[in-house]
Amino acid sequence: MAKLNVARVITGRDRNDRTHQARIGMRGRARYVECDTCGYRKAAPIAAARAADRHLTGRHGVGLDSVRQERPASAAVRPLLVVAFIALLFVLMFLNAP
């Protein structure tokens, strides 16, 4: 099975203060939700974050107020790379202007 390219991590705590994590990402062309606690794995083409929330609250008893969504560092860097690329294009455009 191909590696999951993680786009988002949803973390929450149950009433016994145990931490549970669900990862949302792409495997090939399909979007998946995977639970680190119980090994749950399901394809979720639409509303993957909602499917992960539903799993954490239903299966592990995680309260909705304790759920936190994070993006891995690689996903946080992508917007910065886009901005840097656009800035580079503007600089090159002004250097080549007559």
84 pLDDT higher than 70: yes
Q: Per-residue pLDDT tens for 52-65?
A: 888 888 888 887 66
**Max intra-chain CA distance, the chain:** 68
Task: With respect to residue 97, please indicate whether it lies within any of the assigned structural domains.
Answer: no
In residues, how long is the chain? 98
pLDDT at 17: 85
E-assigned strand segments in the chain: 5-13, 19-27, 30-35, 41-43, 68-70
Tell me if the pTM is above 0.75. Answer: no
Task: With respect to residue 80, please indicate whether it lies within any of the assigned structural domains.
Answer: no
Task: With respect to residue 92, please indicate whether it lies within any of the assigned structural domains.
Answer: no
Host domain of residue 57: 5-72
